[in-house]
Structure 1
């Protein structure tokens, strides 16, 4: 199995675990631990880590490390694998050599819910078979010893915990809700930091019309050297008026600068990964974020897919500074191998300059021009 197929396979297993955890409402409430200290995302008053997050991350690390030993030590995730139980004990969650070993660890977290621990352990060890003829034919010449992995086990964790299913989409974009909870797995070049493979899995894409069970779907892209492959077809030509998606917390100055450009097509959504997915799917053309509240694990996977489709992701602050200094060149792409050595914890990997993710270079230029000339941005 090649590395692309392996990444898709572990994303499918991760999605199964995410669905299993959300399928039991009492269990979902038990699986929440508040982040504190350097792990905490300063954007939120409360930022949560669930056992699903931790277990999914460790499943991905375990499975990829087993298949590709050269990746061991180069698979990074958002979460610490230490989980604090309701009783205050700290458990290091790991995938063992057998379902029994993994269940023994999970029982300590889930006490006294032993049946739940057994179910999660079984899901963590259950083999995944991909019935995807197109994916099976893809052969890549990417040396695995040259890449590293970023995992966001459940992007938009707060929406995952809340579990809202009744949110009506606006022009195809869900403002919030369970559908914005995604599994993101991105590979980047260790030397350059350039994203080269991205997999996005939507565990809660839709419910089966007869069984009512959640069904997922996945998307992938490869941008390595001259190779550009993607499970989706890019738009043939850009829209004359770009659609832009923002965070609901985006400042008034940015919104005011973009409204003349977008008109009524200024949309809002939760989750950085979901907003980038909206660009990938063609629901919008650009995602703009003016503050440093996204991280390497949020952006790596969708950025790789955007590159495969002819788009990309750049730091907003740097691009605006260059424009205002007269540099009209193409801004440099975000990279994923450069921590901020002046920061600690998760903040080492924050995208401090904000970001702009785009499908078409022309729309990037339109957005940067609108923002560079606006007061207060």
Structure 2
């Protein structure tokens, strides 16, 4: 069945198994105590041994199974870095292969696919022990659209006894989502999630204009979108250019597959083709299923909108 299924379901089925292994690697690095932290561009842009190792696991595994796809990872790693054999994943999630693929994704070729990888989203929080903020993101794009995504939470349930550690969720546009129980956000309130460590006056002014009842300041784009799909927040608002394509490709696909929306602050969807610039210069606005995305767009101050181009 694995070889007869269309490419996109096969990619998602493999990405689920690969993300699970990357999560184990992230936990193993933490358990050893030496995170191998380096600063990339500043104190809030860190890289750890877990970032580097998880990316090598993901990219090597995907490249071996799908040699003709384009893969773009966050971390700058030498291509000849040795990869332990037990990091190279060949397993797949058989349940995904049984799903009916929508017509528009049936005939996708490997050359049309770009996979965006953030091996450890929420690195700063990882180094500070805020482990529930950490995710592994594997986003799948066809042409310039994000069509499927996998989010793995290595530390899901880590504070609970006798519960399985870790969770992987997925979404495919036109198919649906899995791995979690979607929930609606509370009625009669406006709860917004935003950055924990990259706030600016523009970010705060935009939040103020939306008059939220509560603001959840957390790390990681994956974690923020998880708050939307689990009904803990109504919108994710980040009026800044600090996000990248590998931060949003997987979360966007899952959110849209569920009925939500993710755009920049002008209401434009981001392009995910292999030649697109990495930064999300227009900021990020994401809303959960049933939310009025246009209402949030209209509340963005015009002066701030003009800066995000």
**Bin for the TM-score computed over the shorter chain:** 0.7 to 0.9
Counterpart secondary structure, 1:297: helix
Query: What secondary structure is seen at the aligned counterpart in 2 of 1:154?
Result: strand
Aligned counterparts of 2:17 and 2:217: Cα–Cα separation in 1: 31
Alignment length (residue pairs): 290
Taking a change above 3 Å as real, the CA distance of residues 240 and 372 of structure 1, as seen in their structure-2 partners, is farther
Which position in structure 1 is the counterpart of 2:64? 66
Q: Choose which of 169, 172, 175 in structure 2 pairs with 1:219.
A: 169
**CA deviation after TM superposition for structure 1 residue 310, in Å:** 1.4
Across the aligned residues of Structure 1 and Structure 2, the Cα RMSD in angstroms comes to 2.9
* Structure 1 residues 1-377: aligned runs within 5 Å: 1=2, 2-25=10-33, 27-28=34-35, 31-35=36-40, 40=41, 44-71=42-69, 74-82=70-78, 92-95=80-83, 102=84, 122=86, 124-125=87-88, 128=91, 130=93, 134-135=95-96, 137-140=98-101, 141=106, 143-145=108-110, 146-162=112-128, 164=129, 177-189=130-142, 191=143, 193-207=144-158, 209=160, 215-223=165-173, 227-231=174-178, 232=180, 234-235=182-183, 239-248=187-196, 249-252=198-201, 254-255=203-204, 258-259=207-208, 261-316=210-265, 319=266, 331-337=267-273, 339=275, 348-360=277-289, 362-372=291-301
Larger Rg: 1
- In 2: Cα distance, 1:255 partner to 1:291 partner: 10
String of CA shifts for 1:311-337, please: whole Å, max 9, x gaps.
Answer: 121111xx1xxxxxxxxxxx3312212
Q: How many Å apart are 1:309 and its aligned residue?
A: 1.1
1:206 CA displacement: 1.7
Alpha-carbon separation, structure 1, partners of 2:53 and 2:119: 8
Contact kept in structure 1, 2:206 and 2:239, CA below 8 Å: no
CA distance in 2 between partners of 1:268 and 1:208 (Å) = 20
TM-score, scaled to structure 2: 0.82
Greater share of helix: 1
Q: Once the 2 structures are TM-superposed, how far is the Cα of residue 236 of structure 1 from its aligned partner?
A: 6.5
- 1:256 CA displacement: 5.1
CA distance, structure 2, for counterparts of residue 306 and residue 211 of structure 1: 30
Name the CA shift for 1:362/1:68 in 2 (closer, same or farther; >3 Å): same
Q: Which stretches in structure 1 are left out of the alignment for 5+ residues? A: 83-90, 96-101, 103-120, 165-176, 320-330, 341-347
CA distance in 2, matches of 1:53, 1:64: 16
Q: In structure 2, how many angstroms separate the alpha carbons of the residues matched to 1:81 and 1:16?
A: 20
Q: Which runs of 5+ in 2 are unaligned?
A: 3-9
After TM superposition, give the deviation of residue 45 of structure 1 in Å.
2.9
SS in 2 for 1:69: coil
Instruction: Work out the CA distance in 1 between the residues paired with 2:91 and 2:274.
Output: 33
Q: Which whole-Å CA distance do the structure 2 matches of 1:209 and 1:15 have between them?
A: 18
CA offset at residue 51 of structure 1? 2.2
Shift of 1:237: 8.7
1:32–1:51 contact (8 Å) kept in structure 2: yes
Question: Offset at 1:259?
Answer: 4.6
Please give the alpha-carbon distance, in whole angstroms, between the structure 2 residues aligned to 1:289 and 1:246: 6
- TM norm structure 1: 0.69
Asked if the contact 1:221/1:230 (under 8 Å) is kept, the reply is: yes
